[in-house]
Amino acid sequence: MYKVQNPHYHSRVLKYAERNHFMKYIGFNLDVIEPGRAEGWLSVMDYHKQQKGLLHGGVISTLADIVAGFAAYTLVPEDCNVVTGEIKISYLRSGTGDKVHAIGIVLKTGRKLNFCEAEIWNVIGENRKLIAKASATMITLFPSDFGSEPI
């Protein structure tokens, strides 16, 4: 379905995920990396919560940004990078579960822009509830945009 421009996209995404200190700090792990798709899980801790024990909106938006960005990253050429150009989060209900599942997919690719969507799911046992959806525009940075070395 998607045109893969980097045959090493999987290892490259893993490398960047391992270097992402913020992902490590919050405890988010990617477990699916496919062309145009990235998914991961977060075990909710007290520091992810705000008043009334609800999942903080900043955590939700961060997860959406991460999975949408990595989904786009799977489709760009090997010498390119991806940054967020725009992201819009729609919070649908409160996050109250012990785990959160974040899914990012690329809806449409272009030379410079990738239009993505993310879903954030609250998981309690076998029950899943969609707590947020996001639409994101990810910008492809070419070597001429940032110098000779990938960021």
pTM: 0.93
Q: Which residues contact 141 (CB under 8 A, 6 or more apart)?
A: 80, 81, 82, 83, 151
Could you report the per-residue pLDDT of 83-98, keeping only the tens digit for each? 999 999 999 999 998 9
Across all residues in the chain, what is the average pLDDT? Answer: 93
* Pairing of β 127-141 and β 81-91: antiparallel
Which residue ranges form the domains of the chain, and what is each CATH number?
Answer: 9-143 (3.10.129.10)
**Nearest of 68, 43, 44 to residue 55 by alpha carbon:** 44
For residue 150, pLDDT beyond 90: no
DSSP states of 61-80 as a string?
Answer: HHHHHHHHHHHHHTTS-TT-
pLDDT band at 151 (very low <50, low <70, confident <90, very high): low
* Pairing of β 81-91 and β 37-43: unpaired
Strand locations in 1-151 (E): 28-34, 37-43, 81-91, 99-109, 113-124, 127-141
Could you report the per-residue pLDDT of 23-56, keeping only the tens digit for each? 999 999 999 999 999 999 999 999 999 989 899 9
